[in-house]
Every structure is written in C-alpha cells, then in structure tokens.
Amino acid sequence: MTDFNMATMASNAKKASRAAAQLNSSEKNTLLNAIADAVEANSAAIILENNKDIDAGREKGLSEAMLQRLVLDNKGIKDIASAIREIVALTDPIGDVDKLSLRPNGIQVGKMRIPLGVIAMIYEARPNVTAEAAALCIKSGNAVILRGGSEAIHSNLAIAKCLHDVLSAHDVDANIVSVIPDTSRGVIEELLQQNETIDLVIPRGGEGLIRYVSENSRIPVIQHYKGVCHLYIDKYADLDKAVNILVNGKTQKPSACNAFETVLVHGDISGEFLPLAAKALKDAAQVKVHACKNSIGYFTNAELATDEDYHAEYLAQEIAVKVVKSYDEAVNHINEYTSDHTEVIITQDISRGHKFVRQINSSVVMINASSRFSDGNQLGLGSEIGISTSKLHAYGPMGLEALTTEKFVVFGDGQVRV
C-alpha cells in the first residue's frame, strides 16, 4: 500500500468523470450488463476473497451479526447481479432538458441534467454496496471513489477487479470506478480534502461515521444522522388503519431508519386506541414501551418515558408513546424532536391530513401509510444510493437523480445584451 496516493486517485477520477459524462445510455447499459455478467462469472474468485475477510473478521472477534453482513455466498452474488440489472432498467436522466423557454430577445433558455462529476462513497461492512454504488454512479454518468469498511477489503478489491476488467475490455477509462486499497483511517481524512476534484461525499453507516465525515470534509456531504420517525394518531383516525400502520412501521424491520420510534395519540381517542395498540404491539413482537403518564396504564410492559426517550432512535422492538391534547401539540412535539426523516399522520379528516403535510417539513411526510415506505425503491426511485435529512441538494431517499445536477443551456442566434 505504500505507493497509494489519494490525490492521484482523485485526479484520475476527475479525468475519467469527463469520459463517463459523455457515455450515452446504450453504452452505459452495455457496461452494466457486462458487469452483472462478470460478477456472476467470477463468483468463485469473489467468494474466495470474501472468505479471507470472514476469517480475518472471526479472528478479530467481529460479532456474528457483523459477520453475517459481510458474507457473500452464491445467492449474495446473484442478488448483486440482479440489483445491477435493475439499474440497467432505470431511465437515464442525463441530457434531459425539461423545457426550453423563449426569452423576449429570442434566446432559448433551458436546464440540462448532467452528472455531478466525482462521487466518493464511504461505507461500512457490506461488500454488495461496492458493486451497486458503482453501478448507480456509472448509470448517472459519474466517476466514483469507493471506500468500504476495512473488514470487507478483500471482497471489495475482488469486485473492483471485475469492474475494471469490464471497463477496460470496453475501452472505457477504468478510473471511472476506484476502490481505495488503503484501509487506514488516515486515508479518509485525505480523501475529504480533495475538494478540487471530488464533488460530493456520501457516508453510509452509523452516526459516528457521518459526524466524522461532516466535521472533517471540505467537500459537500450528504447527511443522515438518524431516523426518529413519528406516527401521529389523530382524533379523526380510522383506528384499524392506525393499528396496522403502527405495527407495520414499528415491528416489520425495527433496525431500519424508517421504523417508527414515537407514537403520538390524540387524547380524545386514546382511551379507545391504546388498548388496541397495546395488544397489537405485544402480539406482534413483544414491543417494549416507554409511555407518558397518561398512557402507561394501558401497557403491561412499559416504563415511564423520559425526555431522552422522545429523542431515541431505538432501532429495536421498542417505542415511545405520548398522549397529546391537540393536533397542535402533536405538530409542536414533532417539530421539537424531529430528525427530518419521516412523519406520518393517521386521519380520515382531509383538512387535517393536508394541513399536516403542509406544516411538517421532514423529508418524507405521509398520510395513512406506513413509514416503511420511506425508501427509494418503495417511493419509485429505483435503487437507493442513500438518504439525506439535510435540505441541501437532495432531501429524503436518493436515487439516480440525486447524483446529477442541472446546467443552464442557451441557444442564441447572435444576440448581445443591451
């Protein structure tokens, strides 16, 4: 690793990004199909390298859950290939001009969608991210620099080799995809200084990683710290829908950032709703409850909620419950504790529903639907490259379009400014 140079890699990526930007959709899809094929054809070699990571991980004493995320078996390889083929099927946004307007002096003005340039991804254990993030960046005409977890370094380099072989075989600059071979922490620091060549950094992982990247980066960063998603059961809620959505949003996959962490219940219906909720949460997954003093009596497995509970992202079968006196109290609570991820209202009252959607400016706001839909695929974006809970550039789940920007195009016929 001694001859690895971060600045050189970034500057080569910048050069390659110009070539990537000029590929048309057919060329990009040909590459992606070939990459999917190559990943499958080389599954034995990739799995061999993956085994080295697993062995090293076991020696280092990684938890069983961590090791599970690291494993690439034949099914894992097939999943990667089909994820890439799904990206082939997505519409290529590059080159789109939404409309051209004619200015009074006869110049035509429009905005054309273009790639961002060079994207850096910093992520943790899962080696499938290496292939899928690269595929999304290729499809959107960007170059990408990938820095996966050191635990997955052999797997990541094996996948990178596949990608490079395909790019070279198609006479495309292989620097469109770079995997950082250096696993030291210092290299991230160096990466974050390459603001002359890298356009965007997307960190994916725990809050610690994201804070570290945000605080040390001179490159713009997509931020997503945590998901404290709220469910508000309005006075005019259909209680069957409310119970179903509560159970689905909390228990289906509690480790996801789009799971509910707090449920707010309007006082006028809490007496009717809470017994149903208590039974359903217990039946579904023995959910542990942190309840306010007005709701604790309804639960058998509850502790009194503290202020901290309303800030908590449990990522487990645990939920905070609070009875609110009014719609306004619910909105104020959400505004105070929001992580700007996803908030849901359950109501049959159309005015309330639309008011909630106007008043809450989290990245995803829903009426009568499960927070578990707060995901790029479920929302119709196709594959997701990440999620942003800061409002700049992209807000909410990010698909292909979030890897692009728009430039102005002007078509004149000799006009000058007077």
When the beta carbons of 209 and 357 are compared against its own copies, the nearer one is 357
| Residue 271: its H or E element | helix 267-285
Toward its own copies, which CB reaches closer, 6 or 219? 219
What are the residue ranges of helices labelled H in 23-176?
25-41, 43-60, 64-70, 74-89, 128-139, 153-169
CA end-to-end span of the chain, whole Å?
59
Does 385 help bind its own copies (rule: CB under 8 A)? no
Residue among 240, 307, 308, 351 that touches its own copies (CB under 8 A): 240
Instruction: For residues 156 and 181, give the distance between their C-alpha atoms in angstroms, rounded to a whole number.
Output: 9
Q: Apex CA 29: angle with CA 24 and CA 32, to 5°?
A: 130
Choose between 127 and 396: whose C-beta lies nearer to its own copies: 396
Strand runs labelled E in 166-259: 177-179, 200-204, 229-233
Scanning 74-82, 307-315, 318-326, 369-377 for contacts with its own copies by CB under 8 A, the matching segment is 369-377
Nearer to its own copies, 164 or 355 (CB): 355
Q: Nearer Cβ to its own copies, position 14 or 204?
A: 14
Kindly write out the interface string for residues 311-340 of this chain, putting x where it contacts its own copies by CB under 8 A and - elsewhere: ------------------------x-----
Binding mask 7-46 toward its own copies (x if CB under 8 A, else -) reads -----------x--xx------------------------
- Report CA torsion sign: 329, 335, 336, 342: positive
User: Does the protein bind its own copies through residue 250 (CB under 8 A)?
Assistant: no
36 CB contacts (<8 Å, ≥6 apart)? 80, 81, 82, 84, 85, 88
Angle value at C-alpha 394, between 391 and 396, nearest 5 degrees: 80
Nearer to its own copies, 107 or 269 (CB): 107
| 250 in Cβ contact with 316 (< 8 Å) | no
Q: With respect to its own copies, which residue has the nearer C-beta, 21 or 316?
A: 21
87 three-state secondary structure: helix
Site string for its own copies, 251-270 (x = CB under 8 A): -x------------------
Q: Does 209 bind its own copies (CB under 8 A)?
A: no
Closest-CA residue to 166 (of 6, 40, 7): 40
Question: How is residue 334 written in tokens?
Answer: 């959400």
Pick the closer one to its own copies by CB: 114 or 292. Answer: 114
Q: What angle do CA 282, 288, 289 make, to 5 degrees?
A: 100
x/- contact string, 57-96, with its own copies (CB under 8 A)?
--------------------------------------x-
- Which CB sits closer to its own copies, 76 or 117? 117
Q: Binding to its own copies by residue 116, rule CB under 8 A?
A: yes
Beta bridge partners of 101: 109
239 binds its own copies (CB under 8 A): no
User: Of 26 and 63, which CB lies nearer to its own copies in the complex structure?
Assistant: 26
Size of the chain, expressed as the number of residues it contains: 418
Q: Is residue 181 at the binding interface for its own copies, with CB under 8 A as the rule?
A: no
Q: Among 214, 267, 282, 311, indicate the residue that binds its own copies (CB under 8 A).
A: 214
Q: Does 140 bind its own copies (CB under 8 A)?
A: no
Cα 108 to the chain's mean position, in Å? Answer: 36
Work out how close the CB of 27 gets to its own copies at its nearest, in angstroms, rounded to a whole number: 14
Residue 199 within binding range of its own copies, rule CB under 8 A = yes
The encoded tokens of residue 345 equal: 């209202």
C-alpha 6: how far from chain center: 26
Asked if residue 379 binds its own copies (CB under 8 A), the reply is yes
Q: Provide the 8-state DSSP code for 124.
A: -
Do residues 321 and 288 lie in contact, with contact meaning Cβ atoms separated by under 8 Å? no
Q: What Cα–Cα distance (Å) separates residue 68 from each residue in 73, 132, 160, 208, 256?
A: 11, 19, 21, 22, 16
Measured between alpha carbons, how far is 96 from 24 in angstroms, rounded to an integer? 12
Least Cβ distance, residue 99 to its own copies (angstroms): 11
Q: Interface residues with its own copies (CB under 8 A)?
A: 18, 21-22, 95, 101, 103, 107, 109, 112, 114-117, 199-200, 214-215, 218, 220, 238, 240-241, 244-245, 247-249, 252, 335, 353, 357-359, 361-370, 372-374, 378-380, 390-393, 395-397, 405-417
